[in-house]
Structure 1
Amino acid sequence: MVPADQLTAQMVPPAMFDEVSFASYIPDPAQPSQAEAVAKAEEFAAKVGKIRSGGGRRGLFGKKTPAVGAGLYLDGGFGVGKTHLLASIFHTAPSPKAFGTFVELTHVVGALGFNQAVEELSRHSVLCIDEFELDDPGDTMLISRLLSELSNRGVSIVATSNTLPGQLGEGRFAAQDFLREIKQVASIFEPIRVDGPDYRHRDLPPAPDPVSSDELRATADATPGATLDDFDELCAYLSTLHPSRYKKLVEGVSAVYIDGVHAAPDQSVALRLVVLADRLYDASIPVTVSGAKLDEIFTPEMVAGGYRKKYLRATSRLLALSRFEVTAG
């Protein structure tokens, strides 16, 4: 078992965001909210340092009241640079600090247990949460409690999502029954909107046509470090792994080739493919397929449902990966 401090120490931005900064974010002049978001993110990062070094307000009897952490929530569509800003805040904030997707955070809490997760994360100056989502009542209450505890202990929290805080959980479960918890999460954050088109597909053609199975296999064989899988066999294998292990699954892979792609047969398969797409994107691994196009994996019925934003994000990322140049591993 990985020690608790090592588990939280592994919570860092994906390698593709190692060098980003506020200065390297180029706002679109046609989208004023982007420049405003950069300014707000920089202000937040400066506030994190002050809160951590200040340690709270001293009272009449010499006892300090705990400093309450700041909260920032970057809301916007896909590919507008929210994760870039999130990673920039992480790089600017004093150590220790933590960065992870919402799903990764729930995995850490599950691995450590709630109380130990609070103890470990409360030592951090900031917790950066990418792709903040609330998919079920259990996660709603768990993360609500966690963030409230951390904020009260002086940990600042910044999150990105495609849903405003007050709308978290809509369409996924009976949100009315959990409105109090959802509002409690929302109250921690100052929401900032980041508008604009998806930079991953700006001025680009639609999804590339799939290649033939023969061409796919020949190219995979000629690419060092590449993997080649049948789509159905890959989906079956993913069902045997906890999603937290998908990151390990793609380590050291130079390119991914998938034969016989078709629409996901059900929601459970589709959601596992979403997690895989996120891990491939984090690692910048090119994807080439035969069969259906990558924008046909999630059916119209799926995209119209409560997980719409997950599926659209995954499609956006898979299309970006399909345009990457394959390099030798």
Structure 2
Amino acid sequence: MSSYAAASEAVPITGEATPVSLCAREPHVPADRLVGELVPPPRFDSVRFDNYIPDPQQPSQAEAVRVLAGFAGSLGGAGSADGARKRWFRREAAVPAGPGGVYLDGGYGVGKTHLLASLWHATPAPREQKAFGTFVELTNLVGALGFQHAVQALSGHRLVCIDEFELDDPGDTVLVSSLLGKLAGAGVRLAATSNTLPGKLGEGRFAATDFMREIQGLSARFRSLRIDGQDYRHRGLPEAPAPYADAQVDAAAHRTPYASLDDFDALLGHLARVHPSRYGALCDGVDAVFLRGVTPVEDQATALRLVVLADRLYDREVPVMASGAPFDQLFSAEMLAGGYRKKYFRAISRLTALARDAKGLAGGAA
């Protein structure tokens, strides 16, 4: 069974090859679990500064490792969580030594997430005093808990890492910037990355000035680390594997332990009734997802919910086998050219990778 699974009110998985339906699950996730799950996903469990291999032709990579290792070491004496919480309730701003935050400025494929997760692992603080999540996970946390409760839940941390800081939604950007401002005032150190929009692939990165401008008053707290390197992901969208027939998906689902089986349209409807912060719990105990009748998504709100589910499945390395349309046809050309295009490109890439992982589940199916 998946090591990422945790107790919830979702329908249990028995281990027998009888698939469950994600649509039958109504998980209710307590606040402490939402915060406790803000850790690097399983695929980054083993990353460390030591196994990041800097390109000798790109000295900025080795320099980033050196600076981040020093930043992690500086967090060892940052004080207790109780002390940080007392500062918050007394509204006393702690002034940390050195930069209050670091921003990793680089294009796709240079190892920013590897370095950010390595920083989390290297920080000498208990697991419950450091957090790692994507920008979307932070916005979902605030949506689930409310702003003040989210601040209180994180203000005792020594480090909060935000991967893939997104600048495509002004409202969410202001929300997360306000959250980080409150956390910085409580003495929490911050680290962040962001990625290039697909429409700016030729540029290779968001400029650091874009990030600093969007976080407004927080910019003085961040030290920008530029990470140069070859962009291995700028090769266009990957070609998705050919979809299977419904009968092949059904047969594979019924012979695969810890599997879920759903009609695609029904699952999309169910996602609208479950808060995105609970999508991780929705997947508890599921080691493989089987979908019948994948069709292009036309509604943007539905598409954005699907992006979050794709992220949670990718984090957990859950293969996806599907019939219907291939995953590279999920979103229209208009969506892929719009303001949320980075999210859609990421979802296609991740679902395609999970579809490739599912090939072994198909048995003798072509």
Name 1:13's counterpart in structure 2: 40
User: Alpha-carbon deviation of 1:65?
Assistant: 8.0
Name 1:90's counterpart in structure 2: 120
**Partners of 1:287 and 1:318 within 8 A in 2:** yes
Q: Does 1:189 align with 2:222?
A: yes
Q: Distance in 2 between matches of 1:208 and 1:181?
A: 38
3-state secondary structure, aligned to 2:353: helix
Matches within 5 A, 1:232-271: 232-271=265-304
3-state secondary structure, aligned to 1:48: coil
After superposition, give the CA deviation of every residue in 1:6-45 in whole Å (9 maximum; x if it has no partner): 6533322222222221112234556555444333332332
Q: Distance in 2 between matches of 1:13 and 1:7?
A: 13
Change (3 A) 1:267 1:110: closer
The one of 95, 108, 113 aligned to 1:67: 95
Q: Distance in 1 between matches of 2:56 and 2:331?
A: 33
Partner letter of residue 100 of structure 1? G
User: Alpha-carbon deviation of 1:307?
Assistant: 0.7
Mean Cα deviation higher: 143-152 or 124-133: 143-152
Mean Cα deviation higher: 42-51 or 269-278: 42-51
User: Alpha-carbon deviation of 1:248?
Assistant: 0.8
**Partners of 2:29 and 2:281 within 8 A in 1:** no
Name 1:61's counterpart in structure 2: none
User: Alpha-carbon deviation of 1:320?
Assistant: 1.6
Partner letter of residue 293 of structure 1? P
Specify every segment of 5 or more residues in structure 2 that has no aligned partner in the other structure, as ranges: 1-27, 84-91, 197-205, 362-366
Q: Does 1:23 align with 2:28?
A: no
- What number of residue pairs does the alignment pair up? 308
Q: Does 1:158 align with 2:188?
A: no
Name 2:76's counterpart in structure 1: 49
Matches within 5 A, 1:160-239: 160-163=193-196, 164=206, 166-167=209-210, 182-194=215-227, 195-198=229-232, 206-239=239-272
3-state secondary structure, aligned to 2:165: coil
Change (3 A) 1:120 1:291: closer
3-state secondary structure, aligned to 1:290: strand
Q: Distance in 2 between matches of 1:80 and 1:281?
A: 19
Q: Distance in 1 between matches of 2:33 and 2:284?
A: 19
User: Alpha-carbon deviation of 1:261?
Assistant: 1.6
User: Alpha-carbon deviation of 1:162?
Assistant: 0.8
User: Alpha-carbon deviation of 1:152?
Assistant: 2.8
Whose RCO is larger (CA < 8 A, sep 6+)? 2
User: Alpha-carbon deviation of 1:158?
Assistant: 0.6
**Partners of 1:207 and 1:293 within 8 A in 2:** yes
Name 1:81's counterpart in structure 2: 111
Change (3 A) 1:3 1:307: closer
User: Alpha-carbon deviation of 1:166?
Assistant: 4.1
The one of 42, 65, 69 aligned to 1:38: 65
Partner letter of residue 88 of structure 1? S
**Partners of 1:74 and 1:193 within 8 A in 2:** yes
| Identity of matched residues, % | 55
State TM-score, norm by structure 1.
0.80
